[in-house]
Structure 1
Amino acid sequence: MKQEGKKKLIEMPYQIDLESWETIFNSIKDTNLNCTVENENDKRFFFKIGEIVKVKKRNLKILNFDPAGYLDDKPTKVKYKEISAVGFDDHYTNTMTKYLRKKQ
C-alpha cells in the first residue's frame, strides 16, 4: 500500500503466516476461531465449517458442523490441494459458533 501512495496502513487484527497452507491453518487455529474451507472449482465441491482440530503438512482435520449447529461425530480430513477458499472471523461463522451442539 505504501508503494501505491496510501498514507495510512490498515491494521490487521490477526497475524496470518501466508508461507504455506500449513502455516496459514496453524495461524488460524491459534486465533481459537472456527473457519470455513471450501472447494468451489470442480465436481468434488465441498463446504466445511468448524474448528481446526489438526494441521499436517498436506492436510488438515476440521470438526464440521451443519446449518442447524450440530457437530459431526468425528473430524473431516481435507487435503490442501482441494481447497479453493478459506475464511474465518466472519459474521455467519461467529454467530453459528454460539449455538453449536452435539448430535444426540
Structure 2
Amino acid sequence: MIGRLMTMTAHAGRGGELAAVLLRVAERLHGFPGCEIYLISQDTADPDTVHVTEVWRDDASAQAALATPSPANGPAPEDVLALLSTAPHRTDLTVLGGVSLPTGDQP
C-alpha cells in the first residue's frame, strides 16, 4: 500500500469551500478500486488549511483515479486549484498498517 498526505491552503476565508469541494471528490472515490482511505480534514487552528490523507492499494490505483475524467457535475481538478493560495504540499508514504486497513503482505 502507498499513502499520501496532501496539505492545501485556500485563499483567505475559503477553507470551508475547499473542504466542501474535496469532500465531493471523496464521494466520487467511494468504492473506487484500490482506494482504501480518502480522508478530508480541516486544520482547527487555521481553517484555510485542509489536509487530505490517502491510502491506496498501489500506485497504479492512485494513478487510475487521477486519470479518470471528472463527471459533468464536477468537481474537476481546476475547481480545487482555483481555491488554493499556494501549490499543494505532497508527502509520499509507505503504509505499514493500522486500524481499518486491509491486511495483506505488508510488514
Q: Give the TM-score taking structure 2 as reference length.
A: 0.29
Please state which structure has a larger fraction of its residues in helix. Answer: 2
Q: Give the TM-score taking structure 1 as reference length.
A: 0.30
Question: Which structure would you say has the larger Rg?
Answer: 1
Could you say which structure has the greater relative contact order, defined with CA pairs below 8 angstroms and 6 or more residues apart?
A: 2
